[in-house]
Structure 1
Amino acid sequence: MKLYIKNMVCRRCVTAVQQVFADAGIVPTEITLGEVELATELAADEVEGLNTSLHKLGFEIIDDRKSRIIEHIKKLIIKVVHHSKEPLDINLSDYLSSQMNYEYNYLSNLFSEVEGNTIEKFFISQKIEKVKELLIYDELTLGQIAFQLGYSSVAYLSTQFKKVTGLTPGYFKSIKLNKRAYIDDL
């Protein structure tokens, strides 16, 4: 049995979901971003109990096909942006289509219909979150960050960063290095 979990975006999310299952006395065979594989079927009351516990942590069990497709799109984008050291070497639309075996037009329309936002805007927002993280770590130059995230230039990264955050990367870095904060607060 496979359960699909909404809002899992990082390794800490996997750990939190593992704890919910452990607390319920259920041992999954595998937990990855957005998915929990189980060896046996769960009773309806077990699924409801898990969903209640997951909901307290900001997660949710997804039970319809459209939502699973949307979560898979998000999972792929998060993987490319946050967990890959190399920039995506093909177009995002081609990547998503090849990974999901759907026409990009279908994926794009479905995403916009369900999320009220475009795949491209979600992709950009994830890239900007990664830029914020890398700026705070202060280990890479802006040029290295631009390359790592597949920007054509530092100027383009800076323009997009300012458009999304209202701040230049340099100003953001200066205020965040002077006052450490949780990345969710940025």
Structure 2
Amino acid sequence: MKLYIKYMVSLRCKMLVQEELKKLGLNRVAVDLGVVEIFGDITDEQREKFRNNLKKAGLELLDDKKQILVEKIKNVIVEMIHYSDEIPEMNDSDFISEMLGYDYTYLSNTFSEVKGMTIRHFIILHRIEKAKELLMYDELTLTEIAHRLHYSSVAHLSSQFKKITGLTPSYFRELKYKRVKNLEDL
């Protein structure tokens, strides 16, 4: 039986989930990115206790199939943008569809219904967050950042960056220097 849990990837979360399962006497389990596979049966009482203990720890047991699919979509996007250095050879919609084995229109409609935003907007938000992170490191040029984040041009990245943050990428990077200088002046 598989249970789906909404949590960010961290060793602490994984260990917490494993600990809660052990307390319930469920030792034959596999815990992976947002998924717990239990090799055996789990009673309704164990499931409810597990749900309540997760909730106390700020985690959520997902039951709704649409919610589960949306979490999978989000995980693919986060992995694609934040944790992969390789740019997919295909466009985002084809990549997501291929990774999850569903038609993109179905994925898109389900995501919009559950999250109240499009997959495209979710991707843009995460790309801008990654761009902000890369700008703060100051190791890459704006052209290199645009390429790494799969933008067609620096102008396209700059336009979306300004639309989301209200700042240009150059000004955002400049703010870093002002913050550092202010800290040095203390």
Q: TM-score normalized by structure 2?
A: 0.82
Would the alpha carbon gap of residues 174 and 37 (structure 1) be closer, same or farther in structure 2, given more than 3 Å must change? farther
Q: How does 1:94-109 map to 2 (within 5 A)?
A: 94-109=94-109
Give the superposition deviation at 1:92.
Answer: 1.4
Q: How does 1:64-83 map to 2 (within 5 A)?
A: 64-83=64-83
Corresponding position of 2:184: none
Would the alpha carbon gap of residues 43 and 136 (structure 1) be closer, same or farther in structure 2, given more than 3 Å must change? farther
Give the superposition deviation at 1:29.
Answer: 4.2
Q: How does 1:20-169 map to 2 (within 5 A)?
A: 20-25=17-22, 27=27, 29-169=29-169
Unaligned regions of 5+ residues in structure 1, if any? Answer: 181-186
Would the alpha carbon gap of residues 179 and 46 (structure 1) be closer, same or farther in structure 2, given more than 3 Å must change? farther
Deviations 1:17-53 (A, max 9, x none): 3224325525574333222233333333333333233
Q: Which structure has the bigger radius of gyration?
A: 2
Give the superposition deviation at 1:70.
Answer: 1.0
- Which of 18, 35, 46 lines up with 2:15 in the alignment? 18
**Matched letter for residue 60 of structure 2:** E
Give the superposition deviation at 1:157.
Answer: 0.8
Deviations 1:90-144 (A, max 9, x none): 1111112222222111111111111111010011111111112222222222222
Note if contact 2:4-2:68 (Cα within 8 Å) is conserved in structure 1: yes
Percent identity of equivalent pairs:
45
Matched residues in 2 for 1:30 and 1:176: separation? 43
Matched residues in 2 for 1:164 and 1:53: separation? 37
Would the alpha carbon gap of residues 179 and 47 (structure 1) be closer, same or farther in structure 2, given more than 3 Å must change? farther
Aligned length: 177
Corresponding position of 1:184: none
Q: Secondary structure at the match of 2:130?
A: helix
Matched residues in 2 for 1:117 and 1:29: separation? 34
Q: Secondary structure at the match of 1:117?
A: coil
Matched residues in 2 for 1:57 and 1:131: separation? 31
Would the alpha carbon gap of residues 152 and 52 (structure 1) be closer, same or farther in structure 2, given more than 3 Å must change? same
RMSD: 2.2
**Matched letter for residue 126 of structure 1:** H
Matched residues in 2 for 1:179 and 1:27: separation? 49
Would the alpha carbon gap of residues 19 and 172 (structure 1) be closer, same or farther in structure 2, given more than 3 Å must change? same
Would the alpha carbon gap of residues 40 and 57 (structure 1) be closer, same or farther in structure 2, given more than 3 Å must change? same
Q: TM-score normalized by structure 1?
A: 0.82
